Amino acid sequence: MSIAIKEINVKEIMTKTNLPVSDFAVNPYTGCYHACKYCYASFMKRFTNHPEPWGDFIDVKNWPPICNHGQYAGKEAFFSSVTDPYQPHEARFKRTRSVLEQLQGTGIKLSISTKSDLILRDLDIIKTFPQARVSWSINTLDEDFRSEMDRAVSIERRLEAMRQFYEAGIDTTCFISPIFPGITNVEAIIERVKRQCNLVWLENLNLRGDYRGRIFSCIHEHHPELDNLYRQIYTKKDLTYWSELDGQLRAYCEANGFRYFRNDDTTRAKHGELPVVVNYFYHETIVKSAQKKNEKTKN
């Protein structure tokens, strides 16, 4: 398909960030070919002057050489907060590869999130960074549903890339996100990846912004039997589904030898161990809601 591509000049590529997972955000591109229907980063379109829909344009960034290398030692860089650093056009432009080459030897730590297996090209250089972490977003094992939601590579290709990084000794994460109510089989995904990652992160589908309508339309078109469930969760703000899924997953993990935590950014399994499972649902709200419900039941 036709994608609008242009090269742009930016003042710098290392952006200081308040993200809890890093000190710097690295976004070698604006826009993303993967065009995920649920992508929160689609808000970036309003800053680009692009008439094309999100997913149909890519700005390729050029920047001055990265200087003052001493400031990066012990810090962490996150690739990427509003794009996929390994979307298909990275094979041609090598912008992500260029940042890695410029940062090599600075002592900076890496955290990379992708939906691609193109990252295998850079396994050689990623291995040279201290405490490198790579995560792949996987929210289904069903290719039909995957193709409804994004233009990224197949789930099997993502899983194979994860396996190769894990066997190379790099910390890997399976990011089960977003979990689609009634569709995402979390336990099946955990079973599939349990021997090739250190960490499983769980994140619920959060509908906000301009993609709320897209998701509702897509669910109605392909899964109309779930219309009522989605209205219950996202219109009536009923947290029952997430509360019950939280309990179900905790029981599953306890029964199968996985450590299960809520909102934990530090614990991860060693290579050869079962991955740690971390739940990033809205727990404070869920717990309060559950407590009130129990109090009413008791009374």
Residue 195 in this model has a pLDDT that exceeds 60: yes
Residue 246 in this model has a pLDDT that exceeds 70: yes
Q: How far apart are CA 108 and CA 114, in angstroms?
A: 19
Domain-embedded: residue 226:
no
Residue 294 in this model has a pLDDT that exceeds 80: no
32 and 52 inside one domain: yes
124 and 162 inside one domain: no
79 and 186 inside one domain: no
**Percent of the chain predicted with pLDDT > 70:** 93
Residue 84 is part of which domain span?
1-131
Return the pLDDT at 217.
94
Domain-embedded: residue 38:
yes
7 — pLDDT class (breaks 50, 70, 90)? very high
Residue 48 in this model has a pLDDT that exceeds 90: no
Domain-embedded: residue 139:
yes
106 and 145 inside one domain: no
Domain boundary among 111, 131, 151: 131
289 and 143 inside one domain: yes
What mean pLDDT comes out for the span 112-132? 97
Q: How far apart are CA 86 and CA 64, in angstroms?
A: 21
Residue 291 in this model has a pLDDT that exceeds 70: no
19 and 87 inside one domain: yes
Domain-embedded: residue 258:
yes
Domain-embedded: residue 228:
no
Domain-embedded: residue 223:
no
109 and 161 inside one domain: no
What mean pLDDT comes out for the span 217-223? 94
Under 8 Å between Cβ of 68 and 47:
no
- CB atoms closer than 10 angstroms to residue 40: 14
Domain boundary among 131, 155, 184: 131
162 and 96 inside one domain: no
Domain-embedded: residue 221:
no
Return the pLDDT at 286.
43
Return the pLDDT at 210.
75
Return the pLDDT at 53.
84
Domains held by the chain: number: 2
287 — pLDDT class (breaks 50, 70, 90)? very low
Return the pLDDT at 119.
98
Return the pLDDT at 78.
97
Between 249 and 20, residue with greater pLDDT: 249
Return the pLDDT at 283.
46
The pair of three-digit structure tokens given for residue 52, joined into one six-digit string: 């094309």
Return the pLDDT at 256.
98
144 and 282 inside one domain: yes
147 and 55 inside one domain: no
Return the pLDDT at 282.
65
Side by side, which strands form the sheet with 29-30?
Answer: 4-9, 57-62, 29-30
Between 119 and 51, residue with greater pLDDT: 119
User: How many residues are given for the chain?
Assistant: 299
Domain-embedded: residue 215:
no
127 and 142 inside one domain: no
146 and 72 inside one domain: no
Residue 298 in this model has a pLDDT that exceeds 70: no
Between 95 and 296, residue with greater pLDDT: 95
Under 8 Å between Cβ of 258 and 191:
no
For the ranges 8-12, 44-48, 91-95, which has the lowest average pLDDT?
44-48
